[in-house]
Chains A and B, each alone.
Chain A
């Protein structure tokens, strides 16, 4: 990892500690040892560890530059962002579209998105697999394990 990356991590650790301490200060106090005792101790520890991380990074030498394979390419970042977007979309669509439709759409898109660049995407296979997986999971859990996964617009047609 590069010096800059380690410094950013240290700053993030420090920020997390300070943010947690700030939130702790908003809590009501009821004595020396109350519900804020541990949050204060934890927040201080997080901030202190963040500072140590920054100090050790500044003092340490011998950082190697990142190898090209370690550097994130814009396409990789795009795939990560798209995956996060797809998962968020799947969760948001669970109630309005229902589990079977939301899961089938998510699976189809995610199969396609994660296909390695060395392989050609196979949309028909992906569509069949996505629909089949969504239906099998839905039927198994709704009727086999009595877990009431949302049916969405399909609800009136479900037994």
Chain B
């Protein structure tokens, strides 16, 4: 393992990959920091650049974007009181009051350092858990994979924000869209209307880019002429000394950071409830365990530490099911999965056997990206603050053109560019209908996995459906899937009180 890891570091510290990681982290931070731009957009628009790179270089770039974008959200969360990404919502609760109290530099320093710590701890967990889980997963057959796919889909659909009916519908609709093309096992063409371009189904990337990036441009178009929107003015910061906090303050936050990391990693592993949830849960946990809970919401570093450690700890957590089972937990890991597949890498337990050096290159890339994130956010903070003021009406059309280039680059077909427009309209319709997009994407990705393994599982058990229930692992996951639906139905039907969080935005 150690020799593979050293070889991985050797790969990522080569000048080409190191420069790519540095650029990737910088671009990621900007996308995380600017409200409205997302990690998915950052990865989508850089994907075509990886087409001609080798797998190690291409994947390192994508991972650097992921790490940078997850952390970048803290900049706008603290400076503008607007979370750049959902994973930084709880950072605003204490980061923004600290900014108002003249402690903006300290809040940023704390956020940056504990983002780094959260990332590193989660990479440690990834390196420790993933190979063992992959060994266990090697014994999984179609029954287990079908059950895990259904469990993941159920979890993400029921736990998505908003109405559960709409969440489940979105997951089922994504699954339905994935049935377009040649069917598994009996190879019948379904719903292609004679178009050979979709015989292999829609590409994950065109669906993701359309649903997220194009839909966002349409959404911005809608609000462009709404009255009351003030342009973003980057705030001024006083001179920053070191990271802005003392060693005693740092040491005092270690238990909080470890607890928040564990929350972030555990939640990150589960599909559907990633950093967007873990930052809030660890904030609540930190408040409950704090000796001074009354300071929460008024500007305490404990709140910033809890949120930022947890959301970055989700990075390693989310990579565990992605690499070992090929199951993405959210849209960002879904687009990473697309990127891996473009480079001919099929995540799953076999990846650890057939492409061991590449897996450890990914681990090394994560570590180097985390270190670069710490350095770049500290050194380039003033530059990133200036970038917050880039007008969206300039940025988004350029992003859209880059997305079109990415779609065209998949197979040099204009058809794929039309596809992103179609899915963009669908994504916009989802936003207007209050329907969550993540279950759709996960349904689209896990659909073929579920169907193929269901058909194969039935063939193995000679058409006997009970094989899925008598297999202990498959039976457990299917039972958990059923329980998660029943629990959510119970939660939806019982009268509930609304939890209040300090400074919570609506």
A residues apposed to B, CB below 8 Å: 1, 5, 9, 12-13, 16, 20, 23, 27-28, 30, 33-35, 38-39, 42-43, 45-46, 49-50, 52-53, 56, 69, 72-73, 75-76, 79-80, 82-84, 87-88, 90-91, 94-95, 99, 103, 106-107, 110-111, 113-119, 129, 133-134, 137, 141, 145-149
Contact = CB atoms under 8 A, between A and B. Distances in A.
B220 interface: yes
The 8 A-B pairs at the shortest CB distance, nearest first, are namely A35-B183, A114-B393, A110-B397, A83-B221, A35-B188, A49-B169, A42-B176, A117-B225
Given A53-B165, A95-B414, A147 B405 contact: yes
Interface in B445-487: 447, 450-451, 454-455, 458, 463
Contacts, number: 167
A147 B409 contact: yes
B148 interface: no
Interface in B134-184: 163, 165-166, 168-169, 172-173, 175-176, 179, 183
A43 to B, nearest CB: 7
B217 interface: yes
A124 B392 CA distance: 18
B417 A84 contact: no
B285 to A, nearest CB: 33
A75 B225 contact: yes
Interface residues of B, number: 67
A76 B229 CA distance: 14
Interface of B: 48-49, 51-52, 163, 165-166, 168-169, 172-173, 175-176, 179, 183, 185-186, 188, 190-191, 214, 217-218, 220-231, 391-394, 396-398, 400-402, 404-405, 408-409, 412, 414, 417-418, 421, 424-425, 428, 433-435, 447, 450-451, 454-455, 458, 463
B459 to A, nearest CB: 9
Nearest to B167: A49
Contact of A107 (B169, B173, B401, B434): B401
| Interface of B: prevailing SS | helix
B197 to A, nearest CB: 14
B191 A103 contact: no
Given A42-B176, A147-B48, A83 B401 contact: no
A52 B172 CA distance: 14
Given A114-B393, A141-B48, A147-B409, A23 B191 contact: yes
A62 to B, nearest CB: 13
A146 B225 contact: no
Contacts of A107: 397-398, 401
Interface centre among B51, B397, B454 (most CB of A within 10 A): B397
Given A39-B190, A46-B172, A141-B49, 4 more contacts: A53-B165, A69-B228, A76-B223, A84-B425
Contact of B222 (A33, A45, A76): A76
14 contacts: A28-B188, A35-B186, A35-B188, A42-B172, A42-B179, A72-B222, A73-B225, A80-B221, A83-B217, A94-B417, A114-B396, A118-B230, A147-B51, A147-B409
